[in-house]
Structure formats: structure tokens, C-alpha cells
Amino acid sequence: MAGFDDLASERSKAQFDVEEMKVIWAGSRHTLEVSDRISRLVANDPVFRKDTRTMLSRKDLFKNTLRKAAHAWKRIIELRLSEEEAAELRFYVDEPAFMDLHWGMFIPTIKGQGTEEQQQKWLPLAYKMKIIGCYAQTELGHGSNVQGLETTATFDPQTDEFIIHSPTLTSSKWWPGGLGKVSTHAVVYGRLIIDSKDYGVNGFIVQLRSLDDHLPLPGITIGDIGMKFGSGAYNTMDNGVLRFDHVRIPRDQMLMRVSQVTREGKLVQSNVPWQLVYGTMVYVRQKIVSDASCALSRAVCIATRYSAVRRQFGLQSNGIETQVIDYKTQQSRLFPLLASAYAFRFVGEWLKWLYMDVNQRLQASDFSTLPEAHACTAGLKSLTTSATADGIEECRKLCGGHGYLCSSGLPELFAVYIPACTYEGDNIVLLLQVARFLIKTVSQLGSGKEPVGTTVYMGRVEQLMQCHCAVQKGFLELSADLVQAAVAHCQLIVVSKFIEKLQQDIPGKGVKGQLEALCNIYALFILHKHLGDFLSTGCITPKQASLANAQLRSLYSQVRPNAIALVDAFNYTDHYLSSVLGRYDGNVYPKLYEEAWKDPLNDSVVPDGYQEYIQPILKQQLRNARL
């Protein structure tokens, strides 16, 4: 059988220790063990099936998601899973749901922006899921411009309460996940108003629904905002709309780590920077970077396996056609994506470290690295999600016509992934933040303040001073170019973190060699993509450009025999991949054929509607023909 033989023979060609590469990909032997065990647990549980997801109506889809979430929670309790294991379970269940916002944003916001007392009050309730929370920041009229939010939280000194209100239609909260149908509580971002004075945006814990009958509390209007792109995909999430009509909450439900409102209505600032109100976004952006490598590697795994199974043209002496993975054009599209998946994995690991480091410093009242952490999380979130979204679509094309079938797994993966380019900050808006950070760093170059961390290279580039003068002519005017500069800065981080990874001790036969090849592919591919910029700025000569391209081609040949093993190292189950084209055993054609018959349209041989619509046309044609 074609697929079986092809993948088995590919695996036998691998020149490195796949088991050791699995450890590198997972991050440690322990993480690999946990992820392997939990992925199998999910794959073997019928409640977590997802093969019919794209065919369900929104209501059935959503109810099924609730069932899965409840079952996941039950299993977490029954099996006494650790936080790490529970997060893996969520990952392999592979379905966006209210739980993500509860654990991923509501709880981190209370931890990051609540006082000790507030944490003691709210976290136990949230950890036990006695309340379910979401993150209600974005409004119908304002998402990117957080300081432009219109929801008001007005202090009433008479009753010691805040009055939460939506003064306009555009102030309606719009988009928060988990809000539409599930959450009982939300962290709501609104303008703090004391004595008619506006103190800017802050977070408030607001109960939305009754804990008895789940009905919205008085003064609160909530609903789902409607179907989103693609079938299945992000429609498992109840992104919601929310309006307040003078809803009162106690004063101690304002998150008060950054600033406090006293009983007398005085605003007291802590010693922490006000930007900590944006802290949850830094945390989630960091997580999104790690997730990018998962989504991209998943698409690459499907496209690579299928490219080894699929044969077109070029009859060999044995009468068999050529595997499409052997075409240089296929390699030059696929292997940079394979390299990117590994590159994003390692930069994600580093960003996780950076985030932990900044958090430890914050605890010790050292706020010096916060601007860099913001710039790195914003920039890398933008770079990796844009590249991943484009990469998934490229993988679909690499799989030809079959890639367009839902059973390939790629359409749903694309549909579920692309909002990552928008949520947690539109990717261009985030790059502008990086640009602002870079300009600020450049402006300090002459002042004796040495650049550190990811900007250390700036101290070595003399032309940057002139650059600063040019930018001072107008940030907005040059913003398109500044965005390119921000991307280049982030690419430099990705490449340097890959190189740093290679400097670590990497055990296992041939593993380091494969990673070196992938790192070189990533760097040279980026150079190739931006060749015009490199040449026009005189960074490289035409001769060097052509040598780089020759080197890239040679690296593709080096990776070719290892391609299947390099995607096997992701250790994905067939359940997680949910792709007929990416099956581990390569048994693509019989399964594609089998899958087609499962479509509800094939339940009957003659379709519903034949009698009403097709038959009359056929009869009409018959009459016309007689005329």
C-alpha cells in the first residue's frame, strides 16, 4: 500500500535520534512524558472526539463544547491532575472554550492586578470554578485604543460603590470570549470617575449572572455576537456583547494593586507603574508565541507527511511517480515552514523565561525590564502569528486539492488560528509599539545609557543616530517603514535565540546537526525573503546573496531525508492532528474515500430537494428539447 510503504521507508532514512529530538521539542524529558501521556488519554476518550465538528449546527457545536469542558473538568478532578497536566489536557482537547478565558485571563488578571486581600477572596472561588470569569476589555467602538474605552465606573461616596455604566452603543463590551453564554463574572475595564474627574482605565470585578439560575443580574444585557469565520473553528467560543445600565458594585471590586480608591474617594497610586493594568496582555501574548509553534508544526506535519505520500509525474524506472516532496519547489516552500516551527518553539521558550524573570523583578519592585518585556511579547506575538497564519495557508496549498477538504484538518486549523493575528492586539498596532520602543532606545544612545537585552546590538550600529534624527521628522509619516524595522528587530531575536539554543548541550545522535541545518534554513530564508533590503542597504553584496541562495538549496537537500522524522518529533497523535492527509501510517487514499461517505449529504442517494428543484428543471429541459 502506497502510504504505508512511503512513510515507513522515509522513517528508516532518518539520520538522527528521533526520540531525543522529541525531548528537545517538548522542552524536557518530564514535559515529553506528561504531554505524551495526556495526549493519549484525550485521544482514547470518546467524549473528546472532534471528527464531526465541522458538520454541526452552532447550537449543537456549542452544547458539545460545554459537554467537553465539563468532562475535562471532571477528569482533572478525578485524576487529580496537576496544573501542568490540566493545561496539557486543554491543549489536546483542542477546542477554544470559555475555560481558556477563565484560566488564561480572568485568573491571571486577579493575580496580577488584585491586592493580597482581593486575591484571597476571589482566587479560591475561581480555582474551584465556583465562579467562571472572562476578560471584558474591548468595546464595539474601541479595541486597539484601550485608553479610548467608554464604559464608566463612577465612584458613589454615599454608598461606597462604583456605578458601572455603558453610556453609548459603542461602549457596549464586544468580543470577550466566554461572556456570551457562560461567564458568571468578568473583569470589566472602564474609566474610573471620581468626583466628575476621569482617572483613566482600570479593571473591576463585576458579577454578571445569577449563581442560582444563570440569568443576567438587573441592569445587565448580555448575548453572543454571532457566527464567526469558518465551520467549527472559533464558533465553539461564545464571544459576547455586554451592556450595563447603572450597575452597582462594592468599592473593593476595583482591582487595586496599581491604584486604590479610599472610602473618602481619594485616588492613591502605588509604587508600581500604571502600565501593569495592561499586564494580562503581556502574559497572554507570551503564551500566544508558544502556541504559534504548535499550530504551525501541526500544519507542517500534515503537509510533510502528505508530500511524502503524494506522487505526481516523473515516472521512475520502476513505473512509480515521483513523491512531491522531492520537487525542489515543494521543498523551498515546505522546509522554511518546518524551520520556522522549530524557531518559534525556541523563541517561545525564551519568552516564557523572560516573562518569569520580569515577574520576579516586579515582585521585588524592579520595573526596569517591563518596557522590553512589553516590546518583545508584542513584537514576537505579531511576527509569529502572522507567519503561522500564512504558513497554515501555504500548507493547505502544498497539499493540493485534498488540502481544501475539511478532512485534511487544514481549513479548520486556519479558521481557528487566524484571529490570533487580531486578538491580544492587532499585529500592526503591536509592531508600532515595538517601533516606539526602538526609537526610544535609539534616542538614548548618545546619553551614556547603554542599550541592554535584545537591543544591545544598537550600541554597535553608528548609523542609528542619524536614523533617530530622520524619525523625529514624523513617526506617523514613516510608520510603514518603522513597522518593517520592528519586524527586522523581532526576526533578529528569533534567529539569535535559535543560535543560543544550539550553544546548549544537545544530546542524541545527529540531533544537533539537524537543528543547525534548520537554524541556517530559517536565517537564510529570511535573508532571501528580504534580499532587496539587504542589497539596497549594502549589508550584503550580490555575490554573497547568490552564495546564500546556493547554501539554502544545499540545506534543503540535507533536510530532505530527515523531513518525516523531524515532524514525527512533534509527537502528535492522529487525534490531535485530525487530518486524513497527516495520518501517522500514511494510509491516505482509503481513508479519504471512507471519510467522504460519512458526509450527511451521502445519507441518501437522491438528495433532499430533488423533487422540488431538480426534477422540474429536468422536465422543463425535456419540454424545451421537444420544442
Ligand X SMILES: CCCCCCCC/C=C\CCCCCCC/C=C/C(=O)SCCNC(=O)CCNC(=O)[C@H](O)C(C)(C)COP(=O)(O)OP(=O)(O)OC[C@H]1O[C@@H](n2cnc3c(N)ncnc32)[C@H](O)[C@@H]1OP(=O)(O)O
Residues noted as catalytic: 424
By CB under 6 A, tell whether 295 contacts ligand FAD.
Answer: no
By CB under 6 A, tell whether 99 contacts ligand X.
Answer: yes
Q: Which of 48, 103, 135, 342 binds ligand FAD (CB under 6 A)?
A: 135
Question: Binding pattern to ligand FAD, positions 400-419, x when CB under 6 A?
Answer: -------------------x
Question: Any idea what DSSP says for residue 242?
Answer: E
Question: Binding pattern to ligand X, positions 416-435, x when CB under 6 A?
Answer: -------xxx---x---x--
First-last CA distance in the chain = 54
- Tell me which of ligand FAD, ligand X, none is bound by residue 428, counting a contact when its beta carbon lies within the kind-specific cut-off of 5 to 8 angstroms: ligand FAD
| Closest distance of CB 437 from ligand X, Å | 6
- Tell me which of ligand X, ligand FAD, none is bound by residue 64, counting a contact when its beta carbon lies within the kind-specific cut-off of 5 to 8 angstroms: none
By CB under 6 A, tell whether 138 contacts ligand FAD.
Answer: yes
- Is residue 16 within 8 A of residue 562, CB to CB? The reply is yes
Q: Which of 101, 153, 358, 493 binds ligand FAD (CB under 6 A)?
A: 101
Q: Is the dihedral of CA 40, 42, 47, 52 positive or negative?
A: negative
- Is residue 173 within 8 A of residue 139, CB to CB? The reply is yes
Determine the longest span between alpha carbons in the chain, in angstroms: 94
Which cell goes with 596? Answer: 467522504
- Is residue 173 within 8 A of residue 141, CB to CB? The reply is no
Alpha helices (H) along 94-199: 98-101, 107-113, 116-127
- Tell me which of ligand FAD, ligand X, none is bound by residue 421, counting a contact when its beta carbon lies within the kind-specific cut-off of 5 to 8 angstroms: none
- The one-letter amino acid code at 236 reads T
Three-state SS at 164: strand
Q: Which of 135, 234, 306, 346 binds ligand X (CB under 6 A)?
A: 135
| Closest distance of CB 14 from ligand X, Å | 34
By CB under 6 A, tell whether 143 contacts ligand FAD.
Answer: yes
Question: Would you list the DSSP string of 332-397?
Answer: HHHHHHHHHHHHHHHHHHHHHHHHHHHHHHHHTT--TTHHHHHHHHHHHHHHHHHHHHHHHHHHHH
On the 0-12 / 13-18 / 19+ scale of CB atoms within 10 A, 537 is exposed
| Closest distance of CB 86 from ligand X, Å | 4
By CB under 6 A, tell whether 233 contacts ligand X.
Answer: no
- Tell me which of ligand X, ligand FAD, none is bound by residue 234, counting a contact when its beta carbon lies within the kind-specific cut-off of 5 to 8 angstroms: ligand FAD
Q: Which CB, 178 or 403, lies closer to ligand FAD?
A: 178
Q: Which of 9, 144, 275, 312 binds ligand FAD (CB under 6 A)?
A: 144
Cβ within 8 Å of residue 550, ≥6 positions away:
none
Q: Which residues of 292-323 are buried (b: 16+ CB within 10 A; e: fewer)?
A: bbbbbbbbbbbbbbbbbbbbeeeeeeeeeeeb
Site residue total, ligand X (CB under 6 A): 33
- Tell me which of ligand X, ligand FAD, none is bound by residue 272, counting a contact when its beta carbon lies within the kind-specific cut-off of 5 to 8 angstroms: none
Q: Is the dihedral of CA 280, 282, 284, 287 positive or negative?
A: negative
Q: Is the dihedral of CA 98, 104, 105, 107 positive or negative?
A: positive
Q: Which CB, 89 or 552, lies closer to ligand X?
A: 89
Which range of residues in 99-107, 334-342, 383-391, 400-408 is near ligand X by CB under 6 A? 99-107
Which range of residues in 134-142, 252-260, 409-417, 564-572 is near ligand FAD by CB under 6 A? 134-142
- Is residue 221 within 8 A of residue 170, CB to CB? The reply is no
By CB under 6 A, tell whether 425 contacts ligand FAD.
Answer: yes
By CB under 6 A, tell whether 428 contacts ligand FAD.
Answer: yes
By CB under 6 A, tell whether 175 contacts ligand FAD.
Answer: yes
By CB under 6 A, tell whether 98 contacts ligand X.
Answer: no
Question: Any idea what DSSP says for residue 209?
Answer: B
Q: Which of 23, 164, 281, 308 binds ligand X (CB under 6 A)?
A: 281
Q: Which CB, 171 or 330, lies closer to ligand X?
A: 171
Cα–Cα distance for residue pair 328/556, rounded to 1 Å = 8
Q: Which CB, 137 or 514, lies closer to ligand FAD?
A: 137
Q: Which CB, 428 or 506, lies closer to ligand FAD?
A: 428
Cα–Cα distance for residue pair 426/414, rounded to 1 Å = 17
Residues that bind ligand X (CB under 6 A): 72, 86-87, 90, 99-100, 103-105, 135, 137-138, 143-147, 177, 275, 278, 281-282, 284, 287, 370-371, 374, 423-425, 429, 433, 436
Binding site for ligand FAD (CB under 6 A): 101, 135-138, 143-144, 175-177, 234, 239, 419, 422-426, 428-429, 432
